[in-house]
Structures are given as C-alpha cells and as structure tokens.
Structure 1
C-alpha cells in the first residue's frame, strides 16, 4: 500500500471511531476570479467550509500561463495557512475543495480539485455531491478506452468533457452535465473562465458572491462572510454560471425547469449555523426545530442540555419554548484532532470521553432533556446517555431535532446502509430501551417542514429532498442496479 493510502486510512479510522453516530460531512467548494490574492482568499474560504469535509483539501490556481496545484490530506489549516504553500499557487483565479469522501477512497489522487489537460487547454474541477450514475458511466467509459487515475466519481466529468464533440468549452461542459444524474455543485476553471453549476433539483448548495467586484462561488454564505465578500444570490437549481475572461457573468439554463428540492440535512446538520440557505438563516431554523419539538413532545424536566455542537441551536429553541433552563451539561473538547492515529481498543472505548465530558455540577441529581440533531447508528448517543447517568442524572429524556433516519443517502452524505441505521432496525420503544433513556422523541416530518416556514410536507410534490427520512428518492439511482451495484459494493469493501 502506498504511503499516502496508509496515512489516509489512519486519518479516516481516527475520525470514524470518534464520530460514528452522525452523518459524515459532504464537501465544500470555493472559487474566485480576477483577484491578485486568489489562492490565499480561497484558503480562507475553505477554512470557513472546513465543517463540510475534514479528510483532505486542495487548491488549483492559474497565473496566466500555467496551472498550479496543491492537494493535501488533512485539515485546511494544517497546510494552507503556510505562506510557503500559498506561494506555490500564483495567479488571479483559483478554485478549492475540502473533502469528505462519499465515493472513492481517501487517497491523495482522489483529493480535489481534479485537473486534466484537454484538447482546448487545462480544466480543473471540484465537486460537492454524488453522482448516482457515476459508477455506471465509469464502467462504460473504461470499456470505451478511458483511463482513470482516481476512484472519485468527480473524474467522470473530466472524461465526459474530454469526449464531447462540441466546439466551445462551455457547450462541452453542459453536454457532460446532461449525461450525469444525482446531486452536484461544481466549480471549475479553464485558462479563461470560472464556472459554477448546480444540479437541476438544487440538492447541493452553491452561492454567488463578490469581493471588491470579483466573482466568487462558495458552498455556503459563511465562506463569503469570512473574507468580507458580499452575498449576491444563490446559483439556481439547474443553472450554469460562466465568468468570462472579461469578468462578464453569463447565466445559462440548459435544462428544463424542475421543482427545486434542496437537501433538508443542510438545515438539520451540515450548514454552519451562521449561513443563510434558501433565504433562511440556519441558526433560526434550528431554533424553530427545537421549539416545535418541544410542542410536539413536551416533558417535565429540570434542565435542557445540548449534545454539542450540532444540538445547541435546537436545544436553545426547546428550552425557550418549554421554559426549562438551558445549561451546558456536556463540554466538548475541540482539540482532539488526530491525537490517536491508531488507538488501542481500550482507547477506542474511551473515545466519546475524549470528545465529550459531563459537566457534573449541572447534571447531578437532575432530570435532564438531552437534545441532539439526529441519531444514525446510536452508538455514540448510547455512550453519552451512560455518561450522563454516571454524572448523576436522575432521569434522561432524549429529544431529536430530525425525524428518524431510516434510509441511506446516495447524494453526497456518507450514511450507512439500512442494516446499520438504528431507526431502520428498531421501533421507538426498542430504541428507547437500547439508548437507556426514560423517554425518546423525534420531531415529525411535518414539524421539520414547519420549522422551515412551510405548512407541512406536500406529499404529492415535496419541497425538499428528504429521502433519508421518507424513502422518497428524487432521482434515479443507476448505480444501485445491475453491474453498478456490484461495483458500488466492491468500492465500499476497498474503502
């Protein structure tokens, strides 16, 4: 096994055992055009998007003559805070990516942005999301003679652009988009253009901003805020935006309009609380979720305690609505990082205590309401409940700020299959007993929609992508049938 593969496996293992009970991050993309400090600005943007992917990061820049690429395993700050690295990325155009692998192993050749020399010149691209026919297309392209360097589904787009018979680059890019299915937010660059594209349903987010007049693409508005950029608008579902060499922005809508269905988990967990998504402040939405959860599943208790950090806004909303005091009964250690690269089994068993510790003064002798954003496997939740008991909690009531997760995701969220999803295997009472709590309740799907300002879920035409709760997948999933399913299984085993 190559050295980069060994390091990546160790890094991945480290995070798996520390945070196995939440959906794993997606990815973050960023791009800027025409700025003299393009690479440094991109690095700052990726810092703000670090929560979306913590396994690897990369930046590609263009200096007017040559493309430059730096791709590293690990956190953005581990590498791209260094002047020596930024100095290797000259130019006034740059794109960047922070990654959590949803398709393909965490090895250096999969780290984005990916780059290729095509007939018309260099093309670099990065991707947030997952192509649900990516493996099917990969199999077809390899049969036709394509040579793959990576196992990431993003490489498909490079091959499709390269093989297109269209003349102009943007037409070749759109031709490639027409052949893919699933969820995507692409940011790409050539020697003359910066381009952003969002899938027709708007499942994955992408926004357009400006810094001193220079166009920027980013996964979330928080990446604009960190650099003092102005939010202009969201890239619309199905829209392709091209920033030309002159700085002119062209909006292209190459596909028939469809009813948008952005991902609900952006509001529940993925987006940073200070971001704005779909015109909604994420922090306020999460507080609304907590308030509705309190109304749907009231409980008499002494104190409301969030499971940090993702459960904090919902816990505040729950406490305010129920008029139960809010306290920090769990303290999170933000500096665990890569302390133990390959921990022993005994250390693994103590993993939750490395990340969370009980605030005994708040918990002891109290009836508490624990509020978390979601339950996936239930393993970490069970350990946190046990920790509360050991700290002296008299009773533990668990409230979850999302409906039960019963179905896997294929659009860019790393979520286990149904056999490993607690809610897919157990009923509510079984889950309550397994977790060891006095009561357990999840917000309803209609309650979650109301928290976003909707009257409820329109079952005939859902307003959001919510398949992990409902089983209603919004696109075909070619990779789950026939040969594609076999390849998906083999890739999972290899990863």
Structure 2
C-alpha cells in the first residue's frame, strides 16, 4: 500500500494528535461514527479507524490511512462494521512511527479480556509511557504498536478488576500526562478525562442513544443535542438500560484545559468551556488591537486560522478587514509527490495574494501562531512581491517557546523560533516592519478571564508559552529535556 502523504507545507504549524468519537443506542453506529470523525478531521488527517460490535460477528474493525471521506463512505467498507455501538479515532501522530508500516499504530486499539473484549481510542499523550512500556515488557507484555496509547490496554490486561470499567480505572491511575478516552465493550460506551482535563471531551444525546466526542461540532453533524462537557477527572459509563453513570475515580485537581484549543485546535463553530471558540478568537483580535496598534490600510487574515482574530482586530481598530490572501480550497493533503521544484514553490501552492487589493497598501497580517517562522517569511515575501508598502504581523497567541508533551505535535525546543530569539530578533529574521504577539494576560482575558492569568494558579495549561508544565514530562526529562528554571 502506498503510504499516505502528509501535506509537504504543513510543517510550520502545531498539530493536534487526534480526535475521538463514540456512539451507543443507534441503528448503524458506524455511519454516525464516520460522520463524527469527518467533523473532527481537522484534529488528525493521517489515518482513522472505527470499531463496532454486533451480536454474531462480534467486534469489527477497520483502520485506514488518509481522510475519513476517502475510506469510510464506501458501502463495502461500512458493511463490515455492523452494530448499534461504535467508537472511532482520527490520528496525527506525536508518539509512534509514521509510514506504510504504521497501520498497527492506528487506533482504536482492541484487547480481549477474560470478561470480554474492549476497544479504546485515546486523545492526548502519556508522559511516562516509556517507563510503563519498559516495565510491561519486562513482565511479559508483547506490544503490537509503537503508540503510547497501547500501554493502557496492557495495564488493563494486568488489572484484577472484575469489570472492564474497573480495569480501565486501575490502568489510568498509573498513567501520567493527558488523556481523553472513548472506549467500548459489547454493551457499554465509556468516556474518561484526566484530572486536569487537558484535552476536551463532550457528551451528547441522540434520540434514545448517546454520543461522546472531542468537540461539539461532531455532535452537530449527527444532529445530537449537546448535554455537557465530561468534567476533568470524570469517568462516564453509558449503557442502553442504565443511561449515563458518572463517577470521579481520580484525585480532584484544579482543571488546566489546553489554552491552545481556544487559539487553534478546536473548530471555530465548537463550544469549549461554555464559550464559543469563534468568539474567543475574535476577542483575541480585539486584545491584539488594544495591545499592539499600528497605522495601516488593511487587516488581512492568514487563512483560515487567522480569520476570527483578524475580524476582531479590524472591529476594534477601525481598520478595514480584507481578504488579502486567498486559500486554495482544493489543495488536499494527498497532493502530488513534492519534487524539489514544487517544494521551492512552498506556500504559494496553498495561498495566493490578492494583488489588486494589496498593491501600495500598508497591511496588517493576522495569524494564529509562529512556530518555526518559515511560513511567516514566505507569506511576507508574497505580500511584498504583490507591491505592499508595509507588512505588519500580529499573532493571536503568545510566542511559542516550549514544546507540548500532552498530545500536540511540536518541534523540539531548539527549532522553535521564540525559544532562540527575542521578539525584535524574530521581526528582523522574518523581515517585517513590525511583529507583535498577544500577551499571555490578553489571551486569558479573551478566553473569559477578566483579570488575566493567575500566576500562582494558572487557569489553563499554557506550557507551550510559559514553560510551566502542570505534569512533569518524566520520559522527556529522563532523555535530557531541561525544564524551565524556577523563578
């Protein structure tokens, strides 16, 4: 099988690891799961998988590379996934190998226990996975994948719990890091969030059935009613006869949801923490305009992730909003093999400047983040080539100076521009007239915290900006990663 090609020009963005979805109590669960995964495709475009259960065939599984639309809309594939309960997963790997041999890393994972089978889909990252894996292998476990998530299945197998939910609880108490999990047995759908609630998980109602999803937009696509978020540290067990049973098996901690979900990861039409993601991003633009004003003629987003913040910046500053950059909507991730000549075209294959609009103008470009900075330089060159008089970058997040270890694909710290340069040095390197980032307090205000960031007890996980990790990344520390020195 030809390996799935990641988009050759998406290396300068942070990528979520995955999205999860599950449903119970519906006819043809696989179709609902496929729709839910389609809505969560932005959280992982590398591969996807679905597991269902039906009396007779038992547990059925399909795992494929590529888009949901290319794999789980075909009648012959969907016919192999019968049943009224199912879970699914879309993947962009942070842990595990990539390429043609990595189908074994595609979730959901399945385990057969003495009391029956269970499938599990995991969003997040286990920060002590290497230590757990070493211990499990020494005790006889045989791993089938290179994914950190498989540790959970092996821990469940070694548990003495009487039920599968009991075994999952015991396994997760040994896990460090971040996890939002959707799992299933023959008759039960389960959802769990870690005690900090780093990664999101929501509950929906669909007629007599129920759904669990990474985001509310996945509930919308199947016509489910959003009920509530699964709380940090909560485990729900859902069955057709008992409905939703909830308890809190972990030590209660002050929640620290990922603030970058508000900046970039979640879809703008989702609701997160009781707030519209779109409205939070628009408000980030408002904060940016207040903190970093500049005389200019146009406010232009870097599409599509910079659009809500650009709208907010324009509304607050009074500078007209304009589509100065047009995105090629048909630029798929399975584009042609990138030859050297095509690589040199770079971002121009994906974005094009509206020359008639830009020529002679002082332009404010609004983007969601700067990671390596290479794409920012290319976009700046495109704007200047189109005849812009000035180029000013405004970034809808603070400088990304630290890697994430909780389920986000982040370059090592040495490759993050903000880890190696001051803001002025970054401005000179990118080659723009000005460069400003929203402050961490401004980001918190936009996310609904009027007083900004509580420095003693931060309300979110913002480690990628602050270097303050709510859970020590023990595996990485053992490999030599240096934590931020205490101030």
TM-score range, shorter chain: over 0.9
Deviations 1:427-465 (A, max 9, x none): 111110111100000000000000012111101100000
Residues 453-490 of structure 1, C-alpha deviation per residue, up to 9 Å, x if partnerless? 211110110000000000000012221233xx28x9xx
Q: Return the offset for 1:248.
A: 2.2
1:203 matched to 2:194? The reply is no
Q: What is the Cα deviation at residue 26 of structure 1?
A: 2.5
Offset of residue 341 of structure 1: 4.4
- Aligned-residue offset at 1:120: 1.5
| Contact kept? 2:393, 2:436, Cα under 8 Å | yes
State the Cα deviation string for residues 266-287 of structure 1 (Å, max 9, x = none). Answer: 0000000000000010000000
Moved over 4 A (4+): none
Give the corresponding residue for 2:228: 233
Conserved 8 A contact 2:108-2:121: yes
**Partner of 2:255 in structure 1?**
260
In the TM superposition, what are the counterparts of 1:18-417 in structure 2 within 5 Å? 18-65=9-56, 66-106=58-98, 107-338=102-333, 340-417=335-412
What is the aligned partner in structure 2 of residue 457 from structure 1? 453
Aligned to 1:7: 3
Tell me the distance in 1 between the aligned counterparts of 2:338 and 2:435.
Answer: 32
Is residue 202–residue 238 contact of structure 1 (8 Å, CA) maintained in 2? yes
Equivalence for 2:484: none
User: What TM-score do you get using the length of structure 1 for normalisation?
Assistant: 0.94
Match of 1:481 in 2: 477
Shift of 1:117: 1.5
**Which of 238-247 and 190-199 deviates more?**
238-247
* Per-residue deviation, 1:152: 0.6
* C-alpha distance in 1 between matches for 2:464 and 2:362: 31
Distance in 2 between residues matched to 1:461 and 1:70, nearest whole Å: 43
Answer yes or no: is the 8 Å Cα contact 1:20–1:379 preserved in 2.
no
Q: For residue 339 of structure 1, report the CA deviation from its aligned partner.
A: 5.1
CA contact (8 A) 2:203 2:229 kept: yes
Give the Cα–Cα distance (whole angstroms) in 1 for the partners of residues 152 and 228 of structure 2: 25
Cα distance, 1:139 vs. partner? 1.0
Cα separation, 1, equivalents of 2:392 and 2:150? 46
Residue 64 of structure 1 deviates from its aligned partner by: 2.5
Give the match's secondary structure for 2:281.
helix
Looking at structure 2, the residues matched to 339 and 195 of structure 1 have their Cα atoms a distance apart, in angstroms, of 34
5+ long unaligned stretches in structure 1: 489-495
SS of equivalent to 1:151: coil
Moved more, 93-102 or 76-85: 76-85
Do the aligned residues in 1 keep the contact of 2:109 with 2:120 (CA within 8 Å)?
yes
Q: Separation in 1 of the partners of 2:454 and 2:333?
A: 44
1:413 and 1:215 mapped to 2: Cα distance? 28
Q: Which runs of 5+ in 2 are unaligned?
A: 482-487
| Residue aligned with 2:323, SS | coil
Say if 1:289 and 1:338 are closer, same or farther in 2 by CA, change over 3 A.
closer
SS at match of 2:152: helix
Matched residues in 1 for 2:334 and 2:192: separation? Answer: 38
Q: Aligned-pair distance for 1:258?
A: 0.7
Contact 2:209 2:240 in 1 (8 A): no
CA distance in 1, matches of 2:410, 2:142: 29
**Aligned counterparts of 1:103 and 1:238: Cα–Cα separation in 2:** 23
Which position in structure 2 is the counterpart of 1:470? 466
Q: CA deviation at 1:244?
A: 2.6
CA distance in 1, matches of 2:437, 2:49: 38
In 1, Cα distance between the equivalents of 2:473 and 2:240? 37
| Aligned mates of 1:481, 1:119 — CA distance in 2 | 37
Give the length in aligned residue pairs: 476
Greater helix fraction, Structure 1 or Structure 2: 1
- Mapped to 2, the partners of 1:148 and 1:364 lie a distance apart of 58
Q: Distance in 2 between matches of 1:153 and 1:473?
A: 19
